Structure 1
Amino acid sequence: MSDLPVRFRRLWDEIAPVGRDAGSGGYLRYALTEPELRLREWFRDQADRRGMPVTGDGNGNLFAWWGDPVAGDAVLTGSHFDSVPHGGAYDGPLGIVSAFLAVDELRAAGAAPVRPVVVAAFVEEEGARFGVPCLGSRLLTGQIAVDRAAGLRDAAGVSFAEALGERPAGGDAGLLGRFAAFVELHVEQGRALVDAGAPVAVASMIWPHGRWRFDFDGEGNHAGTTRMADRRDPMLTYAFTVLAANKEARLRDAHATIGRVAVAPNATNAIPSSVTGWLDARAAEPETLRGLVEAVQAKAAERARRDGTALTCTEESTTPPVAFDAKLADRLAGLLDAPVLPTGAGHDAGVLAAHLPTAMLFVRNPSGVSHSPAESATDADCAAGVTALVRVLEELACR
């Protein structure tokens, strides 16, 4: 019997405690904060142990090279370290740990890549600190302006450029041109593989999705002395909008979530002066997504008029539908005898897919839960994911 599950667990345990919150059991690994910086040092150490030089792109993304960094035609793999607040352990880091183990497996088997294999750690994939998901890959591919990215600020007012320690470099066509393909291994963020009884799947597409900020402004006042008829309470407008988003998404078989809110002055005995909520919306088709967001905006605006409040809606990020390279997906599905699944979750692979042939592998998540401490995967399934990645890298880089 292979000892790969044991070796996976040994390597996984090196990073498992980093950034874990003792209260929730989830992780606080915001991009470029102390826990994520520790993981980036771990990345460099793992690369150094394997004789893989590490390069950066000036945007916070790291690349560990097995082979000549300037040779070109490289096969890129990896994922990200950062987490959503109190998120699960596997979302992101699984792809990096698996990539290093895949390199170990290939070397142990005497494989001789004819193309470089590169392990990547992308920065700020979740967008939990600076608000824009897949920020590192968007910068690398030129999909976000450098000035905008540099000026993004976290809740404490620290800019991305300040956290990075330099102005981001932006798009790098020369670096992108050295990659022939990207394969990202990721824990499944759902339970399709549980239902299918399979440990690994290949992704077919990513739903279009985006984030919109709803700012509701009213009149702050005393909770005990202000008559109900005299109130201009933005919390009422906000609450109605949450319910409207839920209803409109269900009508369209889409997804809508308002999971983040900011209130001022945030006092128990004060009517809020302002409320801000962030809408995450996703759908199988762009037209459905557009119709969903427009319907929520219209209902929120109508309710604001009735409540005597003001509404401003700002699109913070949108990602069009991503159909992964069909030939590559079919090739990998046949190679692995694995099911092919769509996903509603965004990934760096979705950004890079517009620039080079890209595929994703999913590893079974028995809980079906993600962005939560309940996210999980067995060591045996993670080992199966590593084995699948080995076969993919052997197919793409060694032949």
Structure 2
Amino acid sequence: MSFTEMWEALLPIGRDAESGGYHRFAWTPAELECRDWFRDEALRRDLAVEGDANGNLFAWWYPEGARGPAVLTGSHLDSVPGGGAYDGPLGIVSAFAAIDLLRERGARPGRPIGVAAFAEEEGARFGVACLGSRLLTGAIGPERARGLRDRDGLPLASVLAANGLDPERIGEDPGLLSRIGCFIELHVEQGRALREDRPVGVASAIVPHGRWRFGFAGEGNHAGTTLLADRRDPMLPFAEMVQAARRAAVRHGTLATVGRVEVVPNGVNAIPSAVTAWLDARGPADESVRATVAEVREEARRAAREHGVTVDLAEESYTPVVGFDTALRDRVAGVLGGAPVLPTGAGHDAGILAARMPTAMLFVRNPTGVSHAPAEHAEPDDCLAGVEALAAVLDDVAAG
């Protein structure tokens, strides 16, 4: 199948007809359908399909005479709530299309080439971004991962078991890692830095980023009978915490976002008993991100005391600055004729794998600059340019 045919086959899966956004959460029916698509495309190309103990999928091309550790490419299939079509799937569709292109041109890679579909990259279901690659590399421990729960209270362990995976076997896989020599991820640009004449760019680094969970606990009561002076309303310090995040971000030159909140009991005429909120913080340096979070924490504690509420803070994930392998980055940029090199404020599986192997990233131009929303986009010609670029890089790096 061509790039366009593969892309059109994926487009309807998990798409909300009203908003146009995607809901492909890990191990839900939509994401499982995407996994079936991945297997079908791999088998259509006579690639060897393999799933690891952590729920990651791999498709391997072993050209005749290929030896040594593989060149791995690919991305992820899951989405954020209401996300765009391109974040993740573009890298996987492009990887299959690049292999097709290499075969059509009679390329004979000296090393195997693999296509990966990493599990729970967005962290939209279990709260930890890049969960599949974190487990594979040992960046998160199995015990902690097994205890992660989704919004319905289902633990990861039971979800894995329901999908044929043994939760006792999750964790670092040195054997699989030893088979991979490097990872090259193609991704839609998340921003609008690429110029009109350069549809493909190369990543220099991923800025520090993390997620923190704030839990405010107060006293539930009746909205119409409880005097203001008698209330222990967790919504009030939560509101102050959101404002504090914005002020701290401005002060420290970072980005701080509260994009998810859960309220108990979530009733119009009830004072909440608990509010849980998630803070996403990113910035140019570890120190500035940590300073932002520390300031928000202190403001949340102060506001909680003022309103007779308790608050606790838990760090769910954190990734320090990730500089991609310089030699591989320069090699990739050179293959592409001096493609522009730019940093990214978004996390990726490539950033996790960078701790264990050389990694690099290609970006395909996004004319809207929007990501994690339905307006995320890449023009068809730019997508095909991305396939050409990825094929050229794979051909060069896998030469031997």
Same fold, judged at TM 0.5 (above) = yes
- 1:132 corresponds in structure 2 to 128
- 2:348 corresponds in structure 1 to 347
**1:156-182 Cα distance to aligned partner (Å, 9 max, x none):** 222222222221431111111111110
- For 2:39, give the aligned amino acid: R
- For 2:110, give the aligned amino acid: V
Equivalences for residues 374-393 of structure 1 within 5 A: 374-393=375-394
- For 1:367, give the aligned amino acid: T
2:229 is aligned with 1:229: yes
| Selected match of 1:62 from 57, 65, 69 | 57
Q: In the TM superposition, what is the alpha-carbon distance from 1:112 to its structure 2 partner?
A: 0.4
Aligned residues: 393
**1:84-135 Cα distance to aligned partner (Å, 9 max, x none):** 0110000000000000000000000000011000000100000111111111
- 2:202 corresponds in structure 1 to 202
What SS does structure 2 have at the residue aligned with 1:198?
coil
Q: Is the 8 A contact 2:63 2:110 kept in 1?
A: no
What SS does structure 2 have at the residue aligned with 1:374?
coil
- 1:37 corresponds in structure 2 to 32
Equivalences for residues 249-288 of structure 1 within 5 A: 249-288=249-288
What SS does structure 2 have at the residue aligned with 1:60?
coil
Q: Is the 8 A contact 1:71 1:178 kept in 2?
A: no
- For 1:248, give the aligned amino acid: A
Q: Which consecutive residues of structure 1, in runs of 5 or more, have no partner in the other structure?
A: 1-5
- 2:189 corresponds in structure 1 to 188
What CA distance in whole angstroms lies between the structure 2 residues aligned with 1:65 and 1:366? 33
What CA distance in whole angstroms lies between the structure 2 residues aligned with 1:37 and 1:160? 15
Give the TM-score normalised by structure 1: 0.96
Give the TM-score normalised by structure 2: 0.96
Q: In the TM superposition, what is the alpha-carbon distance from 1:79 to its structure 2 partner?
A: 0.3
Q: Which of 216-225 and 79-88 deviates more?
A: 216-225
**1:18-66 Cα distance to aligned partner (Å, 9 max, x none):** 0001122101100011111111111111111111011121110111110
What CA distance in whole angstroms lies between the structure 1 residues aligned with 2:227 and 2:246? 30
Classify 1:384/1:64 alpha carbon distance in 2 versus 1 (closer, same or farther; 3 Å). same
2:87 is aligned with 1:86: no
2:97 is aligned with 1:110: no
Give the superposed CA RMSD: 1.5
Q: Is the 8 A contact 2:67 2:110 kept in 1?
A: no
- 1:50 corresponds in structure 2 to 45
- For 1:103, give the aligned amino acid: I
Q: Is the 8 A contact 2:63 2:109 kept in 1?
A: no
Classify 1:162/1:10 alpha carbon distance in 2 versus 1 (closer, same or farther; 3 Å). same
Runs of 4+ in 1 over 6 A off after TM superposition: none
What CA distance in whole angstroms lies between the structure 1 residues aligned with 2:394 and 2:32? 28
What SS does structure 1 have at the residue aligned with 2:301?
helix
- 1:8 corresponds in structure 2 to 3
Q: In the TM superposition, what is the alpha-carbon distance from 1:81 to its structure 2 partner?
A: 0.2
What CA distance in whole angstroms lies between the structure 1 residues aligned with 2:99 and 2:317? 35
Q: Is the 8 A contact 1:259 1:278 kept in 2?
A: yes
What SS does structure 2 have at the residue aligned with 1:251?
helix
- 1:3 corresponds in structure 2 to none
Equivalences for residues 236-251 of structure 1 within 5 A: 236-251=236-251
What SS does structure 1 have at the residue aligned with 2:2?
helix
What CA distance in whole angstroms lies between the structure 1 residues aligned with 2:137 and 2:302? 39
Q: In the TM superposition, what is the alpha-carbon distance from 1:196 to its structure 2 partner?
A: 6.2
Q: Is the 8 A contact 2:47 2:60 kept in 1?
A: yes
Q: Is the 8 A contact 1:8 1:379 kept in 2?
A: no
- For 2:344, give the aligned amino acid: T
What CA distance in whole angstroms lies between the structure 1 residues aligned with 2:72 and 2:154? 31
| Identical columns (%) | 61
Q: Which of 331-340 and 97-106 deviates more?
A: 331-340
- 2:300 corresponds in structure 1 to 300
What CA distance in whole angstroms lies between the structure 2 residues aligned with 1:306 and 1:174? 54
What CA distance in whole angstroms lies between the structure 1 residues aligned with 2:176 and 2:40? 23
What SS does structure 2 have at the residue aligned with 1:192?
coil
- 2:15 corresponds in structure 1 to 20
